[in-house]
Amino acid sequence: MRKTFTILGLVAFVTISKAQVVINEIYTGGGSSVATSVYKYDFIELKNIGTTSVTLTNAYLQYASSTGSFTNSHVIPTVTLAPGQAYLVQEGNAGTKGVDLPVTRDLVGNLNLATIVGKVALTSDATAPTSPTGTNVLDFVGYGISANQFEGASYAPAPSNALSISRTSGDTNNNAADFATGTPSPQNSSGATLAVSDVKNVKSLFVKNTLVKNNEIVFGEKVNNVKIYGMSGQLIKAVVFLKTNNVDVADLPKGNYIVTGTVNNQPVSQKIMKD
């Protein structure tokens, strides 16, 4: 696929020809009344997977149903993304299940994404794309079995209320090969997925053994959507549904971590140290 970007300022094309801003992750399960929804909102995460900085100006995110035309869109304010930098767009309306996104979104959009099938395009202007290879298309993802347009040989897998779809590595212009389902892990332009300041002082013992010596975190209450973050804010491990009130952390090295989860539909968090 063509990866020609709208550049702010006079920059030679050779400088940015290898830079690529792509749709990196899509979560469609927000805005739902289904108990398995992880977050209240949908989100689309963009990412620069190239080797040089890229400035987008007057770019648009656009959405269509599985077989429909692109009639829903919103502009992305001028933004410069360094190599590896993400950009988080919160979409849709708040649902009755799930929690708020764990990090500050970079932009609030208005796209209500269908949960298991649809099409999302990143375009260089407001013109509705008619195909994945349209002249203004920067990136295109058709997801779910009935999507009638997609990059490459086939559609990306279907997300769900509990799972997002995200890139497995780079961009081969084949939605089926480039995307896989997994635990939603939104990342904003700051590079963090959780700030240390986001840790809440909980009255009850969310984590009973905050000094972990036996390779197992033990929770004091029924909890779901457990995520473990490093102190720099990067997501390290996630478990959507727990069969017991324990999580094995034998694979984590010794050190300090932040554990978050949902208890009685409320987000809670706590710092721990693994010895």
Write the pLDDT tens digit of every residue in 6-61.
434 323 233 333 348 999 999 999 988 888 888 899 999 999 998 888 999 999 99
Of the chain, the percentage scoring pLDDT greater than 90 comes to 48
- Domain end point (choices 182, 205, 232): 182
Q: What confidence tens digit (pLDDT) does each residue in 180-232 have?
A: 998 888 888 876 554 444 455 454 578 888 889 889 999 888 888 888 877 65
Show the domain range for 82: 13-182
Which letter does DSSP use for residue 196 in this model?
G
Instruction: Answer with the residue of higher pLDDT: 139 or 190.
Output: 139
pLDDT value for 5: 42
Q: How confident is the model at residue 263 (pLDDT cuts 50, 70, 90)?
A: confident
Q: How confident is the model at residue 265 (pLDDT cuts 50, 70, 90)?
A: confident
Q: What CATH number is attached to the domain comprising 230?
A: 2.60.40.3080
User: How many other CB atoms are there within 10 angstroms of residue 203's CB atom?
Assistant: 7
Chain-centroid distance, C-alpha 8:
26
pLDDT value for 200: 52
pLDDT value for 114: 95
Evaluate whether residue 94 is within a structural domain: yes
Instruction: Answer with the residue of higher pLDDT: 44 or 255.
Output: 44
C-alpha–C-alpha distance, residues 57 and 176, integer Å: 29
Evaluate whether residue 190 is within a structural domain: no
Residues 222 and 265 in one domain: yes
Residues 154 and 102 in one domain: yes
- Domain end point (choices 127, 152, 182): 182
Residue in 199, 216, 203 with CA at minimum distance from that of residue 261: 199
Domain count, the chain: 2
pLDDT value for 1: 53
Instruction: Answer with the residue of higher pLDDT: 144 or 4.
Output: 144
Residues 173 and 209 in one domain: no
What mean pLDDT, rounded, does the chain reach?
A: 84
Lookup: tokens for 186: 């939104």
Residues 54 and 87 in one domain: yes
Evaluate whether residue 1 is within a structural domain: no
Residues 158 and 207 in one domain: no
* Contact predicate 144/66, CB 8 Å: yes
Residues 209 and 175 in one domain: no
Residues 221 and 128 in one domain: no
Q: How confident is the model at residue 138 (pLDDT cuts 50, 70, 90)?
A: very high
Residue in 104, 88, 101, 108 with CA at minimum distance from that of residue 45: 88
Evaluate whether residue 2 is within a structural domain: no
pLDDT value for 117: 97
Evaluate whether residue 5 is within a structural domain: no
Evaluate whether residue 217 is within a structural domain: yes
* Contact predicate 210/220, CB 8 Å: no
Q: Looking at the predicted structure, is the pLDDT value of residue 72 above 50?
A: yes
Residues 200 and 178 in one domain: no
pLDDT value for 44: 98
Instruction: Answer with the residue of higher pLDDT: 158 or 101.
Output: 158
Instruction: Answer with the residue of higher pLDDT: 14 or 236.
Output: 236
Instruction: Answer with the residue of higher pLDDT: 195 or 174.
Output: 174
Residues 153 and 203 in one domain: no
Evaluate whether residue 110 is within a structural domain: yes
Q: Looking at the predicted structure, is the pLDDT value of residue 241 above 70?
A: yes
Which letter does DSSP use for residue 72 in this model?
E
Residues 149 and 241 in one domain: no
